[in-house]
Amino acid sequence: MPQPHIAIIDWRTAPQGDAESAIEKHIIGRAARVTRHLCDTDADMDDELASADAVIIWHNMPLSARGIARLKNCRAIIRNGVGFDSVDVQAARERGIAVCNVPDYGTEEVADHAIALALALCRQILPLDAEAKALGWNIRVTPRLRRLSTLTFGIVGLGRIGTATALRAKALGFKVGFFDPYLPNGADKAVGVTRARSLDELLAQTDVLSLHCPLNEETHHLIGDRELALLKPGAFVVNTARGAIIRKASILQALRKGRLAGAGLDVIEDEPLRTPEEAETPNLIATCHAAFCSVESKVEMRSTSARIALAAVTGQPLENVVNGVTGL
């Protein structure tokens, strides 16, 4: 029997792994051959990659139905991260290929990052830093400095990361509310936060909006002109989930018009920012899709992906299957 083959697809533009794939090889050992391939799109896939028994894919490299059709022997596609919107999960399902993710590796980091952005906005850390370094001391941003205990922190999506963020916000003194139509009754009581029965209800009472839902057909452009207008005047918006949950043109326009007091966007639709005009949007903090990132989280993420890939090529049960394909 030939040795199983596990291929790692990294993003050529900005590779996130290492040339030796040391973490993955340590987990997989001699059970499979591990190769690494740099691609910008699945059009860059070579024949060796297409012959792999399992594929680990980093988040910037899209894998479409066209690319999936080329995978001759693949049993599982493992997304190195939480989101799997970059993979055509339906096309994989039709070919009997399991799609898995790593949903919990960056829970702490993303929750911490959301809170960091919220604090930076509510306490105007970056404008104050710029003013101090310009040798000024007039505190021009006083109208946007807020007392946390008077503010409602509204969360969309109370999953792992949303819950971790809610607990941190509570500890800082925010009043915390959330909207999540998929949670059973009582979830609010378990965490000790207030439940809104509709998105509109949550937005109307929110001073700091923080998004923690997946990107799918239901949530694409969930927040647009109408939704931003429902927020309290002078509200702040934080997004550490997926960029296209917020319509980019809407939030940039709301910032330019002063309808929002600020936004902290770790992710943004059609990222990265594309023009100097977008980058110069007032009261915008942007942080390079880095909320997930820490030394510890990347080790955990890569180790989990490697463990799932190893299970796929050795006929073991798979973790974190997101497209319903469990039989190998």
DSSP assigned state of 303: H
Assigned domain for 14 exists? yes
DSSP assigned state of 143: G
Is 231 found in the same domain as 100? no
Assigned domain for 320 exists? no
Is 247 found in the same domain as 194? yes
pLDDT the model gives residue 328: 56
297's tokens: 């989280």
Asked if the peptide bond before residue 214 counts as cis, ω within 30 degrees of 0, the response is: no
Q: Considering the chain, what is the average pLDDT of its residues?
A: 96
Catalytic: which of 36, 37, 168, 242?
242
Distance of CA 94 to the CA centre of its chain: 26
Is 115 found in the same domain as 75? no
Is 233 found in the same domain as 113? yes
Catalytic: which of 36, 247, 289, 302?
289
Interval 273-298 mean pLDDT: 96
Sequence-distant (6+) residues with CB within 8 A of 151 are: 122, 174, 175, 207, 208
Is 98 found in the same domain as 236? no
Is 91 found in the same domain as 144? no
Which residue has 């109370």 as its token pair? 158
Is 275 found in the same domain as 130? yes
Q: What percent of the chain lies above the pLDDT cut of 90?
A: 94
Count the Cβ atoms, other than its own, within 10 Å of residue 56: 28
- Cβ–Cβ < 8 Å for 83, 267: no
- Cβ–Cβ < 8 Å for 153, 175: yes
pLDDT digits (tens, 9 = 90+) for 78-128: 999 888 989 999 999 999 999 999 999 999 999 999 999 999 999 999 999
Assigned domain for 123 exists? yes
Domain count, the chain: 2
The CATH number for 37's domain is 3.40.50.720
The answer to whether residue 59 scores a pLDDT higher than 80 is no
The backbone region for 96, taken as left when phi is positive above 0, alpha when psi lies in -120 to 50, beta otherwise, is left
Is 45 found in the same domain as 149? no
| 268, 286, 304 - which closes a domain | 286
Interval 41-59 mean pLDDT: 95
Measured in degrees and rounded to the nearest 5, phi and psi for residue 5 equal -125, 125
First-residue to last-residue Cα distance in the chain:
17
Is 188 found in the same domain as 92? no
97's tokens: 């290929």
> Annotated catalytic, 289?
yes
Distance of CA 160 to the CA centre of its chain: 12
Is 45 found in the same domain as 183? no
- Cβ–Cβ < 8 Å for 75, 315: no
Assigned domain for 327 exists? no
Catalytic: which of 271, 278, 300, 319?
271
Count the Cβ atoms, other than its own, within 10 Å of residue 284: 22
Is 113 found in the same domain as 36? no
The one-letter code for the residue type at 290 is A
The answer to whether residue 60 scores a pLDDT higher than 80 is no
Question: The domain containing residue 248 runs over which residues?
Answer: 107-286
DSSP assigned state of 109: H
> Annotated catalytic, 5?
no
> Annotated catalytic, 271?
yes
Interval 62-68 mean pLDDT: 96
Strand partners, 46: none
- Cβ–Cβ < 8 Å for 112, 167: no
Interval 155-167 mean pLDDT: 97
Question: Does the reported pTM lie above 0.75?
Answer: yes
Interval 271-298 mean pLDDT: 96
Assigned domain for 25 exists? yes
Q: pLDDT category, 326, cuts 50, 70, 90?
A: confident
Assigned domain for 319 exists? no
Assigned domain for 321 exists? no
Assigned domain for 326 exists? no
Is 144 found in the same domain as 55? no
